[in-house]
Amino acid sequence: MIAYDIEKLERARMIKGWNKTQIAEAAGVSRAAITQIWQGKHKSPSTIKVITEALDLKIEDILVVVEERRAK
């Protein structure tokens, strides 16, 4: 499974000195979408992409592979 490294987004946010409202404005998304992403609830690749671009990152910079555990 592919997931997003929210800590990398947070570091990029802090480097820019932006709050989440400023990220939302720069990315052209709602403040609610930013909150959902930071909480791990919003998974839209297109939204993640515009946020990473607003933070001067590439989406590849924040992708992580998570191994899924299978029930026995």
Average pLDDT over residues 39-62: 90
- The reported pLDDT for the residue numbered 33 is 94
Angle at 57 between CA 8 and CA 60, to 5 degrees: 80
In a domain, 61, yes or no: yes
Kindly report the pTM of this predicted structure: 0.81
pLDDT at residue 23 greater than cutoff 70: yes
What pLDDT, on a 0 to 100 scale, did the predictor assign at position 65? 80
Domain for residue 71, yes or no?
A: no
Residue 72, domain member (yes or no): no
What's the CATH number where 25 sits?
A: 1.10.260.40
Within a domain: 16:
yes
- Give how many domains the chain has, as a whole number: 1
Helices marked H in the chain — which ranges?
6-16, 20-27, 31-38, 45-54, 59-62
Reported as a single tens digit per residue, the pLDDT across 51-63 is: 999 999 998 899 8
Please calculate the CA angle 7-14-27 and round it to the nearest 5 degrees.
85
